[in-house]
Amino acid sequence: MNIPYETRRRSLFSCLYSLRESLPGLLAMFFIALFSNNLAGNPNPLTLENLFRWLDAVIGPINHQPLFQILNSNFVWNPFLMGLVIGNVFGVPDCWKRGLSFIHILMPLGIIMLAPHFMFSHAEKAGLPLILAAFAVMLFTASLTMLLGRLLRMDDRHYATIAGALSTGDPHVVAILMPMLKSKGGQVINALGCVLLFGLVTSFLLPLLGHALNMDDKAFAVLSVFGVGNTGQTFNAAFGYSYEAGHWAHYVEPVRHALMPAGFLFVFFVMFIRARRYPHAENVMATKAHKTLPLFIVAFIVAWIAVQFHIVKEPAHLAIFELVKWDFSLAAAALGLSLPLREIAQWGLRGVVLAFASGLARLAVLVGCLLAAAHFRFPII
């Protein structure tokens, strides 16, 4: 019989369990990470990352981008995929489960250590009009997605996760939002798939629209970054339009990236306030389990503000980001192991409908604004 945690608790560190209990699960995560990503200090050349790079070299670039970048392969995606395959083919031994529970320590740890990655000064050179436009697009997309999600009668954890990923333009925000919103693993991966699919389709089709409207290279670069998001897919769209647009997309991209925390924090606080206002509503699930504002979110916000004063300089920032890669690789392995495929499928196709409806509305508004800016000769960049 499982002994309740409170009974076996001796100190704060009781959540680490004994080494004998946690070692098998920790080793499982460790070896999945080791064979997934080229992590700092990992001498193993037989990684999934290298396999994808080799396949990219065989296939050749598409619009100057490696295919697996367009498909969003990265340090979260790779170990998650490997964990998912292992979990679904071989199952998960019971002796791994205490160690795999470290995912709940790794998540807040990774989120806080991401703070130095989001430097506002990286966006400064693009100028205030573009920063304000990016901020407005982000809040508009997040609000619209949450509204449409409610209209589609979706689970609020699911639509809020999609809102966060779509508005920030980074599908991996689903992993950041998981402990914040208390989303289910299946919802998180379903949301990731929905946002990735939207980005994939639009990144190939958007250049056709741009050419039909005879858009300026700079305007199309802005449209790609704010309308498609997700670095690899943004560049696929922009370079698919013209080399100049791709070049300008590299210039605009840091703006979206620097503002990302504002996007996922906005979604979190909207859902958090909603859960406090309607504590007894049956359809309010997101953040409901948080009795108070989680401390790791406070710690992230404090760290995020502090790093804006250039406390963490290069190469310390790079060293911390290598630790983040290790952290999320381990956590993604545990998440992948936890999910039978049916749990991802059970959340259905409403997420796809939501991502496309909201994403296309964002593109329509952006196209209108960019054409108006061109008409009135307003300098975007």
Is 337 a binder of other proteins (CB under 8 A)? yes
Specify the residue, 301 or 371, whose C-beta has the smaller distance to other proteins.
301
Residue (of 262, 264, 256, 260) closest to 225 by Cα position: 256
Cα 115 to the center of its chain, rounded Å: 14
* Binding segment toward other proteins, per CB under 8 A, in 13-21, 131-139, 169-177, 263-271: 13-21
Among 26, 33, 34, 106, binds other proteins (CB under 8 A): 106
Q: Does 377 bind other proteins (CB under 8 A)?
A: no
Q: Which residues contact 112 (CB under 8 A, 6 or more apart)?
A: 296, 299, 300, 303
Q: Which of 172, 177, 182, 214 has its CA nearest to residue 79? A: 172
# residues near other proteins by CB under 8 A: 53
Of 63 and 101, the one with the shorter C-beta distance to other proteins is: 101
Q: Does 140 sit near other proteins (CB under 8 A)?
A: no
Site map (CB under 8 A) of other proteins, residues 45-84, x = contact = ----------------------------------------
The contact mask relative to other proteins for 295-314 (x = CB under 8 A, - = no) is: xx--x---x-------xxx-
- To other proteins, the closest distance from the beta carbon of 21 in angstroms equals 10
Over the range 267-293, which residues count as b (16 or more CB within 10 Å of their CB) and which as e?
Answer: bbebbbebbeeeeeeeebbbbbebeee
CA atoms within 13 A on the CB side of 370: 26
Calculate the alpha carbon distances from 53 to 33, 68, 238, 266 in Å: 17, 8, 22, 35
Smallest gap from Cβ 345 to other proteins, in A, equals 15
Q: Which of 97, 250, 274, 276 binds other proteins (CB under 8 A)?
A: 97
Q: Which of 81, 105, 365, 371 binds other proteins (CB under 8 A)?
A: 105
Judged by beta carbon, residue 14 or residue 283, the one nearer other proteins is 14
According to the binding rule CB under 8 A, does residue 368 interact with other proteins?
no
Stretch that binds other proteins, among 28-36, 96-104, 197-205, 258-266 (CB under 8 A): 96-104
The yes or no reply on residue 209 touching other proteins (CB under 8 A) is: no
By CB under 8 A, tell whether 222 contacts other proteins: no
List 62, 81, 270, 320, residue binding other proteins (CB under 8 A)? 320
> Between vectors from CA 208 to CA 206 and to CA 210, what angle results, nearest 5°?
70
Among positions 45, 60, 94, 212, the unique one binding other proteins when judged by CB under 8 A = 94
Considering the complex, what minimum distance in angstroms separates the CB of residue 338 from other proteins?
5
Of 114 and 366, the one with the shorter C-beta distance to other proteins is 114
Member of 12, 19, 58, 89 binding other proteins (CB under 8 A):
12
> Where on the chain is the footprint of other proteins (CB under 8 A)?
1-2, 5-6, 9, 12-16, 25, 87, 91-92, 94-95, 97-98, 100-101, 103-110, 112-113, 115-116, 179, 185, 289, 294-296, 299, 303, 311-313, 315-316, 319-320, 323, 334, 337-340
